[in-house]
């Protein structure tokens, strides 16, 4: 595969719907690093390393989906409790 056909892999940031969390995928020396942070303090929730960019991005999307679903469930519970 020539370098002209190869897509450049870039860092990725995915925010939760309420913007309270971000999943960042960045290149380290020889792996892709996924870091999930709580905002605005940027408190680290978890960090993992992957050989493949697509695996790190897929896991970042999974984390944000879980966070968004958790927030929807807690909002629904709070509305029912009123």
What does the pLDDT read at residue 82? 65
Give the domain extent around 49: 12-81
Determine the average pLDDT of the residues in 48-75: 92
Contact between residue 24 and residue 35 where contact means Cβ atoms under 8 Å apart? yes
Residue 6 in domain: no
What does the pLDDT read at residue 8? 78
CA distance 60 to 16: 11
Residue 1 in domain: no
Per the model's pLDDT, the better-predicted residue between 76 and 35 turns out to be 35
* Total domains, the chain: 1
CA distance 56 to 50: 6
Mean pLDDT of the chain: 88
Residue 7 in domain: no
Lookup result for tokens 């913007």? 19
DSSP-derived 3-state class of residue 5: coil
Q: State both tokens at 59.
A: 């896991």
Chain segment 11-51, per-residue pLDDT in tens: 999 999 999 999 999 999 999 999 999 999 999 999 999 99
Residue 4 in domain: no
Residue 3 in domain: no
List Cα–Cα distances, 64 to 4, 23, 35, in angstroms.
Answer: 33, 7, 11
């Amino acid at each position: 595969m020539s370098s002209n056909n190869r897509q450049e892999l870039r860092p990725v940031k995915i925010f939760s719907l309420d913007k309270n969390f971000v999943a960042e995928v960045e290149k380290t020396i020889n792996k892709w690093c996924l870091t999930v942070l709580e905002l605005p303090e940027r408190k680290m929730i978890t960090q993992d390393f992957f050989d493949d960019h697509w695996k790190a991005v897929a896991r970042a999307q999974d984390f944000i989906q879980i966070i968004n679903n958790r927030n929807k469930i807690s909002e629904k519970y709070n509305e029912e409790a009123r």
